Structure 1
Amino acid sequence: MTAPTPEENVEQSASTTTPVDGTVRDEKSKRKAALIRAAIYIAGTHFFAFFVMLLFYLGGHRH
């Protein structure tokens, strides 16, 4: 048995640290889904606040 060359060490370490089952891709898709969900929640909250403010505005000008 001979000691592995530096090139073989790099190939070995790269193959052991690279996820084979697509976990990096899965992590990116989870992050993207969370950002989209957050954007929808923020937009929905702003729309609701606008609607409530509109109701107060219209109620104040009813006289």
Structure 2
Amino acid sequence: MTENTANTENPEDTAAAARHARWMERGVALRAFFYIFGTHLFAGFVWLLFYLGRHGQK
């Protein structure tokens, strides 16, 4: 009798899928960190331009 591979889970496949999921979660977290950091850096630069423009010699 042949074994039905659709109903059985291979432990190696399950472990590989778990590693892949953790890798994807880490990638999303890292990307979110850089987007948030970059947005704040850009906002700080714009704030600095307004500050310097307001306090510059006229």
Match of 2:13 in 1: 20
Match of 1:34 in 2: 28
Identity %, equivalent residues? 39
1:1-63 aligned at under 5 Å gives the runs 16=9, 18=11, 20=13, 22-62=16-56, 63=58
Q: CA RMSD in A?
A: 2.0
TM-score, structure 2 normalization: 0.74
TM-score, structure 1 normalization: 0.68
Q: Which runs of 4+ in 1 moved over 6 A?
A: none
Consecutive unaligned residues of structure 2, counting only runs of 5 or more, are 1-7
Greater radius of gyration (CA): 1
Consecutive unaligned residues of structure 1, counting only runs of 5 or more, are 1-14
SS in 2 for 1:16: coil
Amino acid at match of 2:23: S
